[in-house]
Amino acid sequence: MYELMVVQKEAIAVREADLHVKEAYYAQAKALLQQGLKTEADTSRFLSAVYAAKDNLAIAKSLYAKAKNSLSLYMGETIEENVDLEADVLKKEFDSTQYTVQEILERNTELKIYDETIQKNALLHKSARASHYGSLDAVASYNRVSSLNLYDAHLVGVVLNIPLYAGGKLTAQTQNAKIGLQVAKEQKASKILALKEEISNLVLDIHRYDETIAAKKAQLDSAKKTKRVLDGRYKEGLSTYIEVWMRVLWY
């Protein structure tokens, strides 16, 4: 949950920067509209981008607030709004090996609960099966009787209790315990499958995001190089300020 807070906090910063860029584009479009170099349709398009950026920022803030509230509830303490988060806790490189999957399964709290449930039902089943056998009760007593002659009376005996008939109750208890044990095992197996499916989907998403990030970085690098060329052309008088801005807005 802490790592999720860090991610959402960084997402807010990204969305805020994106909103500032969109607002700058919109302001530039309005200025060009007043000069007759832009149309109302162009200005509306940039205004729509501003609204979309504001919506994405609101979503990022909402997700951050949810993560913070969840962590606060589990900690039992209030988390300040201006809390400083350590971004170094995030893994810069994700290793989708079998060891990672095993580590997640071993640390999952719900699976640990299933293990305890399986152990409990196994003990109940063992106890129910043992109830079919007789039980030995060692009974010892010490009596002292005062009469004409003082003497001590001692009685030590062993009593064997055998359940001759229980109306099928013992058998039913054994069957219920056995069913409970099987159900607990199936629930754990089902949870493991669900976790593995979720992990697999997340790994696929991470690889897809890696490709997307690489493409965006290449696009950003190309845009920066183009802008440097256009700035150089502008300084040399080979292009106008409007041409430079049109290129930047296009990227």
- Give me the residues paired with residue 141 across strands: 155
Angle between the N-to-C axes of helices 169-235 and 241-250, in degrees from 0 to 180, rounded to the nearest 10 = 160
Of the pLDDT bands very low, low, confident and very high (cuts 50, 70, 90), residue 42 is confident
pTM: 0.52
Q: Report pLDDT for 120.
A: 87
Residue 171 pLDDT > 90, yes or no? no
Residue 244 pLDDT > 60, yes or no? no
Q: What is the pLDDT of residues 104-140, one digit of tens each?
A: 888 888 888 888 888 888 888 787 776 655 555 555 5
